[in-house]
Structure 1
């Protein structure tokens, strides 16, 4: 397939490598659709490994090529668009992600229908973005719609349905609706263990979610073994610097802090902060959140000079993030309470 001169030379190199691999696997020249599908798979693979800086250029190339070769409404073009939006969200670029998610949703509903799995994925992605921004009133009806449609279209124990169940439970928890959240988390965890196995990443996310609910309720003795189990499995399956592993470490640090085990909490927060700076960058919301948690732990542990030093060091980065997200996000207000 001749490559458009619109695509930059670096992109051509990536596309040519994909073409070569597909040619070797199939024994024939791949068409544009096959190339885009392969690029989308590479994007998802890198994303799941937490390799966001490597995934983003591949996602951009996939989307540009899909739009040119397949058209703006082709399902693979919309998958590429969703992937790119997901990477923006993972980096904390909420204002960049939202219009892409909304566009992908509009196109999927028009092209594939309101209950097609790709449409439900688009809806779920948009709801997760709203939840990350604290826009719970907008997220809840979307998540309820996705769950009902997923159960109808895919079945009650399909992994996508269980993810929707987890997401709705997470929204309830974020709103303090713990009684509603707990049975959903428990149902999702039991089904994930049965369907995917006890060490699958989706099972570990579900395990962390249930532990987080117990933590929020002050049920620390129930939360700790779940957090420890999730952390050990994440390190084994995903690696020590994977974003999900860092989330597990962060969760355990928060538990230690709540229990007054400040030295253990400080050690874990410092490790997580260093790893997140390396993986995400210094201005990513998760990096800033971890550093703020470390500041609070220093204060709890009567280490005021250390807390002030951390705050001075992060002041400019925190202000920069707040400025970029203030128009449509609430997390900073939540963190300042």
Structure 2
């Protein structure tokens, strides 16, 4: 299906358009509760989530869920998938209590429906761990990511790429805890698996280099961070089309290191490359675009060019206020930054 191809390429608007055309055709011949329609709603929901259109994503995932709840038993694994997708949208919105509610519903279904070493259970535990990580509850995040790793270790062969995801998730929590040596150990385990099992230009390899780069950045080892970010970027250039959102993330990562080094002109160069992609690839209220405005504004702030910094920071704040509750850390941090900037003007 062409919609899936466009989705994989990061062309989310085109994917949604194609999915909706297909949906229109299917709805002419199928009843409203047909499983095929549920799958179409699910695909549209996933694309909207990737676009940052969270309210629309919820709308379509909830349609999927309603059809599945009528058609399937309450312990059907396919229902768990639907709950996980809804939880994922709430996580993207920063509504972590709702995200946990749906991921835990998914886990309950999966635990009742599947054998204890089924890989889908690992995914469920991993989703819950990811939400706890975002909430800053690192002990619970580790608990669930370790549960996921144990299940994945039994469900998958030792060098399966999905096992690398488990190691990366654990590494990410340790990095957030400031336990950098432990984080590096898990990132390296993940990287070894990826290098053995995937092609040299696979996007997962770029992600792995990016994780290691982030670790070194958090350790203030900027030369090593740049080295790994640039390795990630070289792969990303081969793996993705030039306007793929992941290319922008790569530019942002490199720009972030230059900013940390105090080289604001170089940081701006990379932030602006990222921004051009986000403007083309994302809808106007996507969180990535807000982050991009924030990055550019912060770089101008570092250059003491406050008049240029202010409009970028205000654009970022405006988008974040539409996406997240007013108590979200992004909003509080950015509002403080703007107030600080205004005192300097």
Structure 2 distance, partners of 1:191, 1:331, is 34
Q: Provide the residue aligned with 1:248 in structure 2.
A: 250
Deviation of 1:193 after TM superposition, in Å, equals 1.5
CA 1:228–1:196: 2 relative to 1, 3 Å? same
Among candidates 140, 143, 146, match of residue 141 of structure 1 = 143
Q: Provide the residue aligned with 1:198 in structure 2.
A: 200
CA 1:52–1:292: 2 relative to 1, 3 Å? closer
Do 1:136 and 1:171's aligned partners in 2 also have CA atoms closer than 8 Å?
Answer: yes
Deviation of 1:84 after TM superposition, in Å, equals 3.4
Among candidates 206, 210, 227, match of residue 229 of structure 2 = 227
Do 1:143 and 1:167's aligned partners in 2 also have CA atoms closer than 8 Å?
Answer: yes
Q: Provide the residue aligned with 2:261 in structure 1.
A: 259
Q: Provide the residue aligned with 1:307 in structure 2.
A: 309
Q: Provide the residue aligned with 1:295 in structure 2.
A: 297
Q: Provide the residue aligned with 1:115 in structure 2.
A: 117
Structure 2 distance, partners of 1:11, 1:66, is 20
Structure 2 distance, partners of 1:59, 1:219, is 42
Structure 1 distance, partners of 2:84, 2:53, is 17
Deviation of 1:239 after TM superposition, in Å, equals 2.4
What is the count of residue pairs matched by the alignment?
Answer: 314
Deviation of 1:297 after TM superposition, in Å, equals 1.3
Do 1:32 and 1:70's aligned partners in 2 also have CA atoms closer than 8 Å?
Answer: no
Deviation of 1:195 after TM superposition, in Å, equals 0.8
User: What is the RMSD of the two structures over their aligned residues, measured on CA atoms?
Assistant: 3.6
Deviation of 1:194 after TM superposition, in Å, equals 1.0
Unaligned runs of 5+ in 1: 1-9, 24-30
Deviation of 1:75 after TM superposition, in Å, equals 1.2
SS at match of 1:323: coil
Runs of 4+, deviation exceeding 6 Å: 10-13, 333-337
Deviation of 1:247 after TM superposition, in Å, equals 1.8
Deviation of 1:105 after TM superposition, in Å, equals 1.3
Among candidates 204, 218, 221, match of residue 220 of structure 2 = 218
Farther off after superposition, 219-228 or 267-276? 267-276
Q: How does the TM-score come out when normalised to structure 2?
A: 0.76
Structure 2 distance, partners of 1:164, 1:41, is 25
Per-residue CA distance 1:3-41 (angstroms, 9 max, x = gap): xxxxxxx98961853998xx9xxxxxxx966x3795488
Per-residue CA distance 1:142-183 (angstroms, 9 max, x = gap): 112211222133233222221010000011111111011112
Among candidates 167, 170, 173, match of residue 168 of structure 1 = 170
Structure 1 distance, partners of 2:48, 2:159, is 24
